[in-house]
Amino acid sequence: MDIRSIDKESAWRIRHEVMWPDRELAYVQLKDDDMGRHYGLFVGERLVSVVTLFIDQEEAQFRKFATLETEQGKGYGSRLLRHVMEEAKQAGGKRIWCNARREKAAFYRRFGLQETGRMFVKGGKEYVIMEYPIIFLYGTS
């Protein structure tokens, strides 16, 4: 198992397959993908999980977090999320947040992210904005 930087096109492929397979590929492409840091978790040479991290001064947002359906429940997503949270901290982030699909909120709560009470609907899916102050999650050192 290995986590490395990947190109946006590799992230798009997994995003599309996992998140929105019934939509066109462009639906999973973000207009600011060129400004994000794309990470992938590999099992051998097979890419199984992806996430994109955006850092703006002391705030970090992870987006389009997806793990192949056949690989879910094996801890790959957890490992990748921990990696991204550490990357955000190393970059000076004080807060990390995401737009979580409502049905996935319990997964993010395991990492200390809390629902903000702000919600929205996109593509017929309910989302909740979740956040966590990194400084408290990992300490100040």
CATH number, domain at 61? 3.40.630.30
For residues 27 and 37, what is the distance between their CA atoms, to the nearest angstrom?
A: 19
Average pLDDT for 97-123: 93
**How confident is residue 141, by pLDDT bands cut at 50, 70 and 90?**
very low
User: What domain count does the chain have?
Assistant: 1
**This prediction's pTM:** 0.88
Tell me which amino acid residue 103 is: E
The residues facing 120 across adjacent strands are 127
Best-predicted range by mean pLDDT (32-36, 57-61, 123-127) = 32-36
Residues whose CB is less than 8 angstroms from the CB of residue 141 and which lie 6 or more positions away in sequence, other chains included: none
What Å distances lie between residue 61 and 21, 23, 30, 54, CA to CA? 23, 24, 13, 5
Range of the domain at 98: 2-138
Average pLDDT for 28-50: 97
